[in-house]
């Protein structure tokens, strides 16, 4: 006789808890497969080899389904870690005035590349008042080059 069904349930729960400390969804699927193996071995008595083969088969199936079908369809909502070029064309509002040739601060309604507020300069060197809407035209170091909308 193989492992008892409660052994598979404990293994499954431990693997799912272990998933909390991993950056991917790999252990989650092994844990889910162990839980299903627990239920099947409770309903249909089987030997250890059959239980392990069922667990391995389900683990591979869940991993393939996740990485081939589900994960590619999930849209990423953050652009953090991407180059500064992704912020070009975004519209923000000036919260600290841009003086002639100086810097100001532009704020975006949704954080862009990890920050909601950025240092900015006027593209044409003109002053931009607080509250004006601007469009990002370039990124220069950690500063955005903006023009009035």
Same domain, 14 and 71: yes
Give residues with Cβ within 8 angstroms of 18, minimum separation 6: 27, 31
The residue assigned the tokens 């652009």 is 79
Q: Cα 8–11–15 angle (5° rounding)?
A: 140
Q: Cα 131–116–130 angle (5° rounding)?
A: 15
Same domain, 54 and 91: no
Cα 109 off chain centre by: 20
Boundary (domain end) residue, out of 60, 76, 92: 76
Boundary (domain end) residue, out of 76, 91, 109: 76
pTM: 0.51
Residue pLDDT, tens place only, 24-72? 777 888 999 999 999 999 999 999 999 999 999 999 999 888 888 877 7
Number of domains in the chain: 2
H helix or E strand, kind and range, residue 96: strand 91-96
Same domain, 87 and 70: no
Mean pLDDT over the full length of the chain: 87
pLDDT band at 140 (very low <50, low <70, confident <90, very high): confident
Boundary (domain end) residue, out of 76, 106, 125: 76
Same domain, 100 and 51: no
Same domain, 52 and 69: yes
Question: What do you get for the CA distance between the two ends of the chain, in Å?
Answer: 74
């Amino acid at each position: 006789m193989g492992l008892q069904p409660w052994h598979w349930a404990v293994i499954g729960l431990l693997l799912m808890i272990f998933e909390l400390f991993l950056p991917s969804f790999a252990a989650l699927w092994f844990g889910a497969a162990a839980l299903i193996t627990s239920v099947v071995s409770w309903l249909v008595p089987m030997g250890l080899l059959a239980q392990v083969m069922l667990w391995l088969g389900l683990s591979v199936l869940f991993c393939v389904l996740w990485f081939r079908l589900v994960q590619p369809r999930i849209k990423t909502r953050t652009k953090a870690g991407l180059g500064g070029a992704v912020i070009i064309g975004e519209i923000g509002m000036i919260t600290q005035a841009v003086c002639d040739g100086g810097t100001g601060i532009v704020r975006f309604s949704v954080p862009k590349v990890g920050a909601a507020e950025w240092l900015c300069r006027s593209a044409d060197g003109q002053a931009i008042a607080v509250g004006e809407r601007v469009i990002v035209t370039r990124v220069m170091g950690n500063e955005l080059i903006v023009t009035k909308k």
